[in-house]
Amino acid sequence: MRNFLLRVIVSAIAIAVTAAVLPGIRVANNDIFTFLLLGLIFGIVNALIKPIVTLLSCPLVILTLGLFLFVINGVMLMITAALSGGRLFVDGLGWAIVGGIIMGLVNMVLEVLLGMNEPQRPPQAVR
């Protein structure tokens, strides 16, 4: 549960940074609740829809040597905008692809800083 909450917060920060940097991606209200809600929606979309889309588009991913994954990330951002109820606006697929790249970079940096990618060690027995 702690890891899920951290991922929602990291996604919320990534959306906030992306909306601040790109003029084609906007958030309706710049409050913490909106960003946390968008992070939650983005996390659910990435957990449920992205694996199916990636599996179905596997030939395109292989054919483009993985570059089609940028398009998939952009589409996930557009789905998040569609499900957000008017809280997130993306002006088009081009902006969504660039936004997905920026969000991926911000996620990567924050996950490294927070140590989220390190393998979990089992608790040591007390002697």
Supply the range of the domain harboring residue 72.
Answer: 2-114
Whether the per-residue pLDDT at 86 is higher than 80: the answer is yes
User: Is 127 inside any structural domain?
Assistant: no
What integer is the mean pLDDT of 100-119? 87
Instruction: Quote the pTM value.
Output: 0.86
Read out DSSP for 40-76? HHHHHHHHHTHHHHHHHTHHHHHHTTTTHHHHHHHHH
- What is the number of domains present in the chain? 1
- Asked if residue 93 belongs to a domain, the reply is yes
Using pLDDT thresholds of 50, 70 and 90, give the confidence band for residue 98. Answer: very high
Tell me if 125 is assigned to some domain.
no
Token digits for 97? 């692809």
Distance CA 13, CA 92 (A): 21
CA distance 22 to 49: 25
Domain assignment present for 126: no
- Mean residue pLDDT of the chain comes to 91
121 domain residue, yes or no: no
Q: What is the mean pLDDT of residues 32-38?
A: 94
Residue 105 located in a structural domain: yes
Residue 88 lies inside a defined structural domain of this protein:
yes
